[in-house]
Structure 1
Amino acid sequence: MAQRYAARLPRHLAPEQVEAVLAAVRSDPRFGRRNHAMILLLARLGLRAPVVIAIQLDDIEWRAGELIIRGKGQRHDRVPIPPDVGEALADYIRHDRVSTSRALFVSTRVPHGPFKDGQVLNAILKDAFARCGVKPPCPYVGSHVLRHSLATNLVRQAASLDEVRDVLRHRSRASTLIYAKVDIEGLRSIAQTWPSMGGAE
């Protein structure tokens, strides 16, 4: 059976659902500051989970307000740090982070080392969905849902596909085209009128 690439609409959350999930993450009395900072990086910058886990302390340029993103294929990008993300990072580093590792996000367990992979973010999100009552858009709760949500909501706020591509740091424009399907008004402007009886030749 043929399976068309990207045939489905991107699985995403509405902006108010994203904020509810973030609030649930932040309310965790044990690891709230650390987890909130990690999830904010997914929600505000559209980062992938492995990228968040790989961030080093030296990647934050506080004076410039920028973050160095180490992407695929040794590709490095500089992105501005939104104010709420900067506050969350500073809050976590100042109050909770205890480690000799240069990794930004570390485990609370001795010896407070870096996480092995991005699965920890999936677990954080799964727990947050359960606590805030927001229904995930798909059975499997993965960190990509926040990346898709950011891009989808940008398109619905009239951002161009090129702007979305820059935010998500796609190498190929083809990777961003999936979000054209959520631009309902744009699709209406190019849709052909459905032929009435006797109107088509």
Structure 2
Amino acid sequence: MNSQSYLKGFAAYLKLERSLAQNSINAYINDVEKLFQYFEANNKDITLNTIKLKDLREFLIWLNDLGAEASTQARVISGIKSFFMYLLQEEIIVNNPSSLLETPKIARKLPDTLSVHEIDLLIGSIDASKPDGMRNKAMMEVLYGCGLRVSELTDLKISDIFEESEFIKVVGKGNKERIVPIGATALKLIKIYMEEVRVHATIKRGNEDYIFLNRFGAKLSRIAIFNLIKSLAVAAGIKKSISPHTLRHSFATHLIEGGADLRAIQEMLGHASITTTEIYTHLDRDYLKTVITEFHPRA
């Protein structure tokens, strides 16, 4: 089976028709490659049109025996289902063997969050007197204040900021645009960074519109943000294992605990499904108790 030619076509389909980011495309391709690796490892003489549901179920057993967690198996199944949908759409196969493939149930893990005090400690640990200090303060305020994904922060452009109306335009997953409010503190720090720091940078060609730049005048990488937050947590004495997404979780959780509407938070986070927002915005027991006490007629 010439798997590479099919994978190449699948990658093009994901990019052009599904508008997925390159990281997501790579993940899908890797998941489908696991299936081909299974066939090869078990000497299965098989073609795309002869793959049966039982073959896919045996593959999942193989994955499980290798120690793959339920969440990993679910992701792999999602990639395989998309692959067979592509093959069916392109009329490469006649029947879809993955249509009845069941996804393992996954326990919904509540994400780690920081308290408002911990957020203050994190941002307060930044030394604004250092060359990159004001940039870092502005980035953390935007990341937490707007609930952005790390890639949305690194891709944020000067032309995306509407200072007078206090909104920013964010390009999220699948190149979907959304409008998110931005607070006065974040806007003030961005302005200081732009006027006192960034103005002196030698900007690399093609990066003129990106707000946050590295010392080489190019837009920051995702890994740079991850490393920054890890170092800030250490400096602030925060023992939790945190990442840029922790600030996004915290943004949503603090809004919910303050009484914000879940649908509004869904819009600001850029979630296609409200169930995704519910996972990100877990509610603590005290808040749930308050809701029952205040609003239930039998409380």
TM above 0.5, yes or no, is yes
* CA deviation vs aligned residue, 1:18-70 (integer Å, no higher than 9, x gap): 11101112546231111111111111110011001001111112233221111
2:215 alignment counterpart: 108
2:119 paired with 1:18: yes
| 1:102, distance to aligned residue in structure 2 (A) | 1.7
Q: Which has the larger radius of gyration?
A: 2
2:229 alignment counterpart: 125
- Counterparts of 1:106 and 1:88 in 2: how far apart (Å)? 15
SS in 2 for 1:69: strand
2:177 paired with 1:177: no
Unaligned runs of 5+ in 1: 191-201
- Counterparts of 1:31 and 1:69 in 2: how far apart (Å)? 23
Q: Which has the higher helix share?
A: 2
SS in 1 for 2:178: strand
Amino acid of the structure 1 residue aligned with 2:160 = D
Contact 1:9–1:182 (CA under 8 A) maintained in structure 2? no
Amino acid of the structure 2 residue aligned with 1:102 = D
2:156 alignment counterpart: 55
- Counterparts of 1:61 and 1:180 in 2: how far apart (Å)? 27
1:36 alignment counterpart: 137
| 1:105, distance to aligned residue in structure 2 (A) | 0.9
Unaligned runs of 5+ in 2: 1-68, 72-104, 294-299
Amino acid of the structure 1 residue aligned with 2:251 = L
Contact 1:33–1:88 (CA under 8 A) maintained in structure 2? yes
Query: Would the alpha carbon gap of residues 186 and 94 (structure 1) be closer, same or farther in structure 2, given more than 3 Å must change?
Result: closer
Aligned Cα RMSD in Å? 2.2
Percent identity over paired residues: 25
2:194 paired with 1:89: no
Contact 2:249–2:281 (CA under 8 A) maintained in structure 1? no
| 1:73, distance to aligned residue in structure 2 (A) | 1.6
2:265 paired with 1:164: yes
- State TM-score, norm by structure 1: 0.81
1:149 alignment counterpart: 250
Contact 1:48–1:143 (CA under 8 A) maintained in structure 2? yes
- State TM-score, norm by structure 2: 0.56
- Counterparts of 1:180 and 1:74 in 2: how far apart (Å)? 23
1:80 alignment counterpart: 181
